[in-house]
Amino acid sequence: MTREHDDAVPRRTIRSFVRRAGRITPSQERALHELWPDYGVEYADSLIDFDTLFERTAPVVLEIGFGNGESLVELAAASPDLDFLGIEVHEPGVGHCLLKAEEAGVRNLKVVAHDAIEVLKNQVPAGSLARVNLYFPDPWPKKRHHKRRIVQPEFVNLIADRLVDGGTLNVATDWANYAEHIDEILSRSDRFTCTECRDHEGDQPFERPQTKFERRGLRKGHGISDRCFKKTMDT
């Protein structure tokens, strides 16, 4: 294969997740069909107007990989002055989140069922987010898989572009090695400053609900690492 031909071949994107089919319950299936019009945002290669989407002007919080959505719904219910956009690729989790949102009666929550990186690049406007929550992302613990971890320099720059000046990136993990990786990647960035660093046993989280993956990690004897990084002012 010549170099010219090699350069013409599209390179495979390294994704930070693996799509798992999972079993969708009848209630989750119903939610995906009946509640999606109320809470769902279709992926498209066009920017979201958050004021139009939420029918008001309010700070927007993005949560990447919300799992079953219970903690996201709890956050939205507890913060009616904020608007929340959640991203998750696994349909059972999306369906469960929609059910919990309906049950809680929240109206300040929307969800996208698509790859977070593509949503950030193509749908989220620059400087539109007040906060990004990344709670217990896939740790990809094997060294050969570290390239799949979502926290990479390119991701950090993308998040910085989408945050307002002074906006925050909140990250939590139950893998000590991933916490070290996060600290190393963010310490190299001149666009963020770590304002709070907390390692604990599940009893000192930031202002967030405990998640399913956090409880699973605690049962395995893992410690919890919470980090808050504040975006510095763009020059």
pLDDT digits (tens, 9 = 90+) for 152-179: 999 999 999 999 999 999 999 999 999 9
pLDDT digits (tens, 9 = 90+) for 34-93: 999 999 999 999 999 999 999 999 999 999 999 999 999 999 999 999 999 999 999 999
Tokens of 191: 């666009």
Tokens of 51: 């004021």
Q: Which of 51, 81, 115, 138 is catalytic?
A: 138
pTM of the model as a whole? 0.88
Q: What pLDDT was estimated at residue 82?
A: 98
CATH architecture of 21-231: 3-Layer(aba) Sandwich (3.40)
Q: Which residues contact 36 (CB under 8 A, 6 or more apart)?
A: 98
Active site residue 183: no
Are 156 and 189 a contacting pair, CB within 8 Å? yes
